[in-house]
Structure 1
Amino acid sequence: MIVTVTYNPAVDQTIQFDEQMAPDRVMRADSAQFDAGGKGINAAQLLTAMDCPCVATGLLGGFTGSFIRETLQEDGVETAFVDVDGTTRLNTTAIAAAEEYKLNQSGPTVGASVVDALLEQVRAQSPDRVLVGGSLPPGLSPDAIDRIAAGGDWETIVDTGGDVLRELDGQYGLCKPNRAELGDATGADVSTVEGCADAADTFRDRGFDRVLASLGADGAVLVGDAGRLYAEALDIDVVDTVGAGDALLSGVLSAWEAGADDETALRTGVAVSSQVVQRAGTAVPDLDDIETLRENVTVRQL
């Protein structure tokens, strides 16, 4: 069973305008959408949809926190969140004509004691794996992730920014950077697939058993004891790349939970990601379609 930890979740608000935005004008939106957001939360939704046992935990506060909890429960995701003072952040994307504006809040300031409360929630689930995803709120350092990794007899997976990855000092089963995060965390040249695999190797020397790197249109690499596995991206019509990395990781984890080897897990991850990017907005995976796509994924050793 997998527990996801989201230290700094968000409600993602997407607002659409038919005309360009301009200062000192009242802009009236054509449409607005609200979604529960955060890497761990996104992963929990995907894992649950793929019938992989999962519990979502993290820090929630205020009316936005209530929205996230209720949304997950409506989606059938089991939850075990810790309530904090303040209000969970609201991140806004405004799309006006051909322009896109992103306005992200930093989240409520919390103290180190929330890590102890989260560890209690995680331990209560007796997980095989714990996924810590997303950014850290004000008041917490990367040590908050290291404490989760050292807090129990589980494999810890981390999906966070390159600046945090550089500071981690624990033992981890997997990290999942994208290409930019891989370069940021290592300083390596990641312009080629081989360069990305080389950069991933350096992570293994720093306490990560495996490294899963999402490379966009170039596919993905999984570096570990099974070698340097490379999966090419499928030739599909991409509609929306939001959530592609979360889908890749969720597919890999669901396959591992089912007992798959690394090659099969990578195929599954690319298949899930490929399905998600063919749809706009939040997409619930179709298990039959994933199986069809997985058969078309090519994996080779670098």
Structure 2
Amino acid sequence: MLYTITFNPAVDLVMSTDHVTLGELNRVQRDEYVAGGKGINMSVLLKRLGHDNIATGFLGGFTGEFIRQQLLTEGVQPEFVEVDAITRINVKLKAAEETEINAKGPVIHQADIDQLFQYFDSKLTGEDVVFLAGNTAPGMTSDHYVKIAKLCKEKGARFVLDTNKDLLTACLAYQPFLIKPNIHELAEIFNVEIQSHQEVIYYARELQQRGGRNVIISLGGDGAFLLTEHGEIYQSSVPKGQVINSVGAGDSMVAGFTAKYIESQDYIASLRQGAACGSSTAFSIGIAQLDTVNQLVDEIKITKIGV
């Protein structure tokens, strides 16, 4: 089974208008509510790609119920721990300039955390894949990420990690199957300025030395590099299209890559699908749809890098 974990999900209230004047009444032209969170984005795309999966984490209140129902509508099985608080609402204001106002989220108590870990301890096998994406919720620390990573290693489950530098580096010792920092996060991890593709590859290899088995480094408009655990290096191109909303593009790349790898164990096909999924989401209002992914796959070129 595939499992996604979102510790601090949100309902994203997306409001669009031409301009905003602070201190005055502003009326929007369009608004919508979206189930948000990196793991939730991954769950939605995995299902659209034909992979059943279970979404986990913490939900509470009327907003938590909204997210649960949205997942059910997508065909994703929600198995969240119910917390005695209201899942946060984030405001995404799209005007001449985009503004995001993200809420802090409810405090997660140790009893809630224990319940989630007990769930995974009873469920995980060597046939499973666990996607841990996003940051901690209030009340949590990097130790909780490490505990998930350690449990996956003990159970033999593949562990896919997409999070900030501190949480990512804390888990490397447990050899995650896949990590995906972008070029800016890679530079931040090593406290350097990265100015060439050769330097990207050098520092990505350093992450492998620390424990990351497969490493994708996203480069924005320059595509992405994949360093495999077998020593190959590949670079993907970027298809033509208008970027509408980059939220969820990285999540889509990770989910798309892993879904294809589960099917084929083919790194080239997996990187091609991952790149197509990421671009498709960036070119869409929400998470990529299968038909648009299929349209873009043939536009992605994969080049093997000899270093």
Same structural fold, with TM-score higher than 0.5 when normalized by the shorter chain: yes
1:32 and 2:31 equivalent?
Answer: yes
CA distance in 2, matches of 1:147, 1:125: 14
User: What are the within-5 Å matches in structure 2 for residues 105-254 of structure 1?
Assistant: 105-122=103-120, 123-124=122-123, 126=125, 128-151=128-151, 152-168=155-171, 169-226=173-230, 227-254=232-259
Q: Say which is worse superposed, 34-43 or 107-116, in terms of deviation.
A: 107-116
Q: TM-score, normalised by structure 1?
A: 0.92
Aligned in 2, Cα 1:298/1:119: closer, same or farther, shift over 3 Å?
same
Q: Secondary structure at the match of 1:21?
A: coil
**1:12/1:140 CA distance change after superposition, 3 Å:** same
Superimposed CA distance per residue, residues 189-226 of structure 1 (whole angstroms, 9 cap, x where no aligned partner): 33333322222111112121111122111101111224
Give 1:4-23 correspondences, 5 Å limit.
4-23=4-23
Quote the offset at 1:285 in angstroms: 2.4
Structure 2 regions of 5+ residues with no counterpart?
none
Letter in 2 for 1:298: K
Q: Once the 2 structures are TM-superposed, how far is the Cα of residue 17 of structure 1 from its aligned partner?
A: 2.5
Question: Per-residue deviation at 1:244?
Answer: 1.3
Given candidates 255, 277, 291, the residue that maps to 1:272 is 277
1:284 aligned to 2:289? yes
Q: Separation in 1 of the partners of 2:70 and 2:136?
A: 22
Q: How many residues are matched? A: 298
8 Å Cα contact 1:49-1:285 kept in structure 2: yes
Question: What displacement does 1:125 show?
Answer: 6.0
Q: Is the 8 A contact 1:38 1:134 kept in 2?
A: yes
Which digits, 9 at most, give the CA deviation of each residue in 1:163-204, with x for residues without a partner?
322333433111111222222122243333332222211111
Q: Is the 8 A contact 1:110 1:138 kept in 2?
A: yes
CA contact (8 A) 1:52 1:257 kept: no
Q: Which moved more, 1:87-96 or 1:40-49?
A: 87-96
Match of 1:79 in 2: 78
How many angstroms apart in 1 are the aligned matches of 2:263 and 2:248?
A: 22
Tell me if the contact between 1:175 and 1:208 (Cα under 8 Å) persists in the aligned partners.
yes
Structure 1, unaligned stretches of length 5 or more? none
Are 2:124 and 2:157, in contact at CA under 8 Å, matched by a contact in 1? Answer: no
CA RMSD of superposed structures (Å): 1.9
What secondary structure sits across from 1:107 in the alignment?
coil
Aligned position for 2:265: 260
In the TM superposition, residue 38 of structure 1 has moved relative to its aligned partner by 0.7
User: What percentage of residue pairs aligned between the two structures are identical?
Assistant: 33
1:294 pairs with 289, 293, 297, which one?
A: 297
Deviation of 1:74 (Å): 1.1
Quick one: which amino acid aligns to residue 220 of structure 1? A
C-alpha deviation, 1:261, in angstroms: 1.6
Code of the aligned partner of 2:106 = P
CA contact (8 A) 2:61 2:86 kept: yes
Asked if 1:46 is matched to 2:45, the reply is yes
Give SS of 1:43's match.
Answer: helix
Q: For each residue in 1:83-130, what CA deviation from the matched residue of structure 2 results, as whole angstroms up to 9, or x when unmatched?
A: 11222111111223x122211112111133433322333343645210
From the superposition, tell whether residues 283 and 232 of structure 1 become closer, same or farther in structure 2 (CA, over 3 Å): closer
Higher helix share: 2
Q: Which amino acid aligns with 1:190?
A: I
